[in-house]
Amino acid sequence: MSSQIPAYAQERLKGLRSSAHSTGVFTSDFSVNEFLLVRKAGFEPIGLCVGTCVYHVGIQYGSWKKNEELQVLSKAMYHARELAMARMRAEAQAMNADGIVGVKLTIKRLEWDENLLEFIAIGTGVVHGDGHKGFRAHDGGPFTSDLSGQDFWSLLHSGYRPVEMVMGSCVYHVAHRGMFAAMGSTGQNVELENFTSAMYEAREIAIERMQHEASAAKAEGVVGVDIHEGSHGWQTHVIEFFAIGTAVLPLDQEIAPEKIADPIMVLSVND
Amino acid sequence: MGLFDWLKQGSDPETQAAKEASVQRQADIQQSLRGGRVPSDIATRLEQARTGKQPWIATLTPAELLIARSQGLKPIAAISATCWLHYGWSWTQGHAQGWEAALQRLRAEARACGANAVVDVKMRSIALAVEDSMDFTLVGTAVKVDGLPPSDQPIIATVPALEFVKLLAADIVPTGIAIGAHYEWMTDWRNGAKMTWMGNAESRPLSQLWETVRQRAHAELRKHAASQGNGVLAHINFSQMFEREVDKQPTQYLGRHIVVATVVDVPRTHGSQEYGRSGDTVSAQEFKMVVDIHAGKTPLTGTTRHHQAYYSNDEEGAI
C-alpha cells in the first residue's frame, strides 16, 4: 500500500500547484512567518503530504526481575512510524516535491482498544524555486525533515541541508527490585545500579539505531535531536526511549565559521 | 504477527543471542560506571563520532547550530549520563549526590569524544516512581572548538547554545552545575507552630526553620560552586515543608530546600577602570529593534525544558 496512492488522493495531488500545473492551488500548514522564510530560502510549498497508519501493537511481557528490551514492542513502534512516514513520502514523490518540511509525527491511542495506535505523519511538500535538484535525498526522492520553516532557513544558512528524518526506538522493561534488596538499602543513599544500567542500555540502543539510520542516509550529522522517554499505556515499568532528529549534509561545501554572519544583539518587539 | 508469537519468543537463536548480548552489555555498564569509566559500547560510539566515522549528533536546533557554527563550535555527539539513586538516608542530600554523580559521568563521556565543552545540558528525570528513588539524568551535546586541542576538563554548560555563545562573547565561561541541598527536622516542643486561636502573628518557629534550611542550602551551593568558578546563575529553587504528627509526642516539621545553578567564571580585574569590562562589551553593542520571524517560542533556546526534574513547584521562584 505504501507505494500505491489511492485514486482520490491522486486527484487531490493533481490539483496542486506545480511546474506542470501553474494555476493550481498550494496547500500547507505554514504560519505566515514560516511561509515567508521558506520562500526566502528559495523554496515554494506545493501541498500537504499525509501518511497514516493504524497499528495493532502486539503483546509482550518483560520478566519481572529483568532489564530487557521488549523487541516486539520496539519493532511495532518503529515499523508503524516507518509506514506512516513512507506513505507521506510517497505522496510527496507523487507531487514531485524536492522535500517535506515541518513534519509532525504524532501517536494517538484509539479509545476502544488499548493495543491500537494511530500514527500520523503530516508535513508540507516543497520544491526549489529554480528547479535545483541538488536538495533531494541520496535516493533521488524528496528529503524529509521535522524542521519548521524558520529552522529550515537557519539550517541552510549554517551551511547544511536536510536529508532525512531519522529515528531510533527502544521499548524497555525496567526490572522490579526484590523485597530483600529494598530492605537491605534502607537507611542509606545508594545507587540502584540495575536501574542506572537499564537507562544506559535503553538509551544507547535508541541512539545507535538513530545513528545507524543517519549513516545509511549518507548524512554528515543529525540536528535537533530529541531524546525522550514515553509510555504508551504499557505496564508501569515499560518505557519507550525514542531518539529523533533530522540528518543533514553540508551544502556544496561546508561554510567556514568566518563566513557566517556574527549574531547581532536585538531587542525583540514581539511579546 | 500471530496471536501467540509472544509465547514463542525466546526460543529462536536470534532472540537468545540478543538476550545474552544484553546481559553482557548491562554487566559492562555497571562495571564501567563503578570504575568511573565510560561503558564500552558508548565509548566505541563516541570514538567513531570523534573520528568522523559516524555522523555527529546534536541536540541543538538549526538556529542554535547556526549560532554555534558562527563561533567556531562544532557538534560531535549527543552524550548523556544517569545515576539512579535510592534515598534511604536522606532525600535531600540524595539530590546533591545524584546530580554530582551524573555530572562526573557526563564529563567522562565528553572527554571520551575529545570535546572542549558540553552545551545545552538538560537535567531530566523520568516519571517512574520506584521505592523512594529517582533518576538523575543529564543530556547534552559535546562540542569542539575549531583550533583547540581536546580538553582534560571539558566545560559543562547547562545553558542553551545561544546563551553559551552570549556568555563567551562577554568573556564569561559557564563551567558546570552547582547544587546546594539541606533539610532539617524541627520538633515543636512548645507547640508554638499551632496557631489556631491567634490573630495576625508570625509563626516564629517555622520562619526560623525555613531560614536555617535555606541559608544552609545556599551555603552548600556557594561551597560547591567555588570549586568550579566564581559565580552562579539561573537558580532553580525547590522547597517543601511537611508536618508529622506522632501520638503523644510533640509535632515535628521537616523543611527541605534544593538549589541548582549554572556556575560561571567571570574574569575579575580589581581596582582599575577595567572592572566591569565584560559588562561594557555587552552594552557597547548597538541594540536594534526587530520583528523576529518566528512564531511562538524562540527556536534559539531549544525545544525542550532545560530542567524538568523540579517543575512541580518552580513557580514559587527564588527567595
Residue-wise pLDDT for B130-142, tens only, equals: 667 788 889 999 9
pLDDT in tens, A215-260: 999 999 999 998 888 776 667 788 888 899 999 999 876 667 777 7
Q: How far is B89 from chain A (nearest CA, A)?
A: 4
Task: Mention every residue, 6+ apart, whose C-beta is less than 8 A from residue B76.
Answer: B46, B49, B50, B56, B113, B114, B115, B141, B142, B143, B144
pTM: 0.80
- Residues present in chain B in total: 319
| pLDDT given for residue A87 in this prediction | 94
| pLDDT given for residue B196 in this prediction | 73
Looking at residues A16-37, what average pLDDT do you find?
77
Asked whether the beta carbons of B307 and B122 are under 8 A apart, the reply is yes
Task: Mention every residue, 6+ apart, whose C-beta is less than 8 A from residue A16.
Answer: A24, A25, A26, A27, A46, A47, A95
Instruction: Please check whether residue A261 lies inside any domain of the structure.
Output: no
| Helices (H), ranges, chain B | 5-8, 13-34, 40-50, 62-70, 91-112, 161-169, 204-226, 277-284
ipTM tops 0.95: no
Which of B3, B28, B64, B66 best probes binding to A when mutated, by most A CB atoms within 10 angstroms? B66
Upper half-sphere CA count for residue B76 (Cβ side, 13 Å): 26
| pLDDT given for residue B242 in this prediction | 85
Q: What is the DSSP letter of B316?
A: G
**A59 pLDDT above the threshold of 50:** yes
| pLDDT given for residue B310 in this prediction | 56
Which of A62-66, A106-110, B72-76 is predicted least confidently? A62-66
pLDDT in tens, B6-48: 555 556 787 788 888 888 888 999 899 888 899 999 999 999 9
**A77 pLDDT above the threshold of 50:** yes
Structural domain count, chain A? 1
User: Would you place residue A17 in the very low, low, confident or very high pLDDT band (cuts 50, 70, 90)?
Assistant: low
| pLDDT given for residue A176 in this prediction | 77
Chain B positions in Cβ-Cβ contact with residue A236 (cut-off 8 Å): 128
Residue A235 belongs to domain with CATH number? 3.30.110.70
Instruction: Please check whether residue A15 lies inside any domain of the structure.
Output: yes
Please answer yes or no on whether B62 and A151 come within 8 Å at the CB atom: yes
Q: Is A254 on the interface with B (CB under 8 A)?
A: no
Q: What is the DSSP letter of B307?
A: B
Which of B12, B47, B54, B64 best probes binding to A when mutated, by most A CB atoms within 10 angstroms? B54
Instruction: Please check whether residue A143 lies inside any domain of the structure.
Output: yes
Q: Which residue has the higher pLDDT, A20 or A113?
A: A113
Measure the CA–CA gap between A234 and A116, rounded to whole angstroms.
12
pLDDT in tens, B66-76: 888 888 889 99
Instruction: Please check whether residue A263 lies inside any domain of the structure.
Output: no
| pLDDT given for residue A124 in this prediction | 93
For chain B, which ranges sit under pLDDT 70? 1-11, 127-131, 234, 269-288, 290-319
Measure the CA–CA gap between B138 and A212, rounded to whole angstroms.
23
Instruction: Please check whether residue A121 lies inside any domain of the structure.
Output: yes
Instruction: Please check whether residue A2 lies inside any domain of the structure.
Output: no
Which grid cell sits at B296?
A: 511562538
Please answer yes or no on whether B30 and A194 come within 8 Å at the CB atom: yes
**Residue numbers of the domain that contains A226:** 7-253
Please answer yes or no on whether A177 and B89 come within 8 Å at the CB atom: no
Instruction: Please check whether residue A41 lies inside any domain of the structure.
Output: yes
Chain A positions in Cβ-Cβ contact with residue B83 (cut-off 8 Å): 191, 196
Chain A positions in Cβ-Cβ contact with residue B133 (cut-off 8 Å): 192, 195
Query: Residues 171 to 200 of A: which have CB under 8 A from any B CB?
Result: 174, 177, 182, 185-200
| pLDDT given for residue A237 in this prediction | 80
State chain A's mean pLDDT as an integer.
Answer: 83
Largest alpha-carbon pair distance within chain B? Answer: 79
